[in-house]
Amino acid sequence: MELNFSTKTLEAQTIVGIRTKAQMAKLGEVMGQLFGELHGHIVQAGQVPAGMPLSIYHSMEAGEVDLECAIPVSGPVTGTDRIRPGELPAGKAATVTHHGPYENLKETWGALVAWVGAQGLQPAAAPWEVYVTDPGAEPDPSKWRTDIFFPVLG
């Protein structure tokens, strides 16, 4: 698979999200539940999602991931104790598109991190993945698209 790396200047994006910790082996199950909960909250607030679901990766240690599952919204949405409004940062980000199953994302992430280093860029904030393809609508994992964004300085 050919990977095309680039940098983009991003506008800030309003989101609502749920931050949690999960074992890598249970990530898909946890994310599915959280995205469903977020979608229901957005609809209850009288809005529709302003983009595809995404996950912000705050840290990863010993097989446990500290992540925030989020959905973009076009306007303010009141949060709860669990669901928090937030914002994806504006600024420069290294980016690449992954085509294929989620199980292979690790290789794409590794290639992006190597590219960022080779370009002399420094991480600026937590990176995120946008799940462009809905697996419920497209059952063939080889057709799935995930966009990765890594905020950088430099």
Q: Give the β-pairing of 122-123 and 91-99.
A: unpaired
Q: Give per-residue pLDDT as tens, 90-111.
A: 999 999 999 999 999 999 999 9
Domain boundaries, the chain: 6-153
Query: Residue 132's Cα: distance from chain center in Å?
Result: 10
Residue 42's nearest CA partner among 10, 84, 11, 13 is: 84
- Name the phi and psi angles at 11, rounded to 5: -85, 150
CATH superfamily of 6-153: Regulatory factor, effector binding domain (3.20.80.10)
Q: What's the rounded mean pLDDT across residues 7-23? A: 97
Beta strands in the chain (DSSP E): 6-10, 13-23, 54-61, 64-72, 84-88, 91-99, 122-123, 128-131, 145-153
How far, CA to CA in Å, does 22 sit from each of 6, 49, 119?
Answer: 30, 24, 32
Q: What's the rounded mean pLDDT across residues 140-147? A: 97
For residue 113, pLDDT beyond 70:
yes
Rounded to the nearest 10°, the torsion over CA 91, 51, 60, 92 is -10
Rounded CA separation 88/10 (Å): 9
What's the pLDDT score for residue 65?
95
Token couple for 63: 């097989």
Residues 114, 118, 123: CA angle, nearest 5 degrees? 70
Which band of pLDDT confidence, cut at 50, 70 and 90, is reported for residue 16? very high
What's the pLDDT score for residue 1?
66
* Percent above pLDDT 70 for the chain: 99
- 84 close to 17: Cβ distance less than 8 angstroms: yes
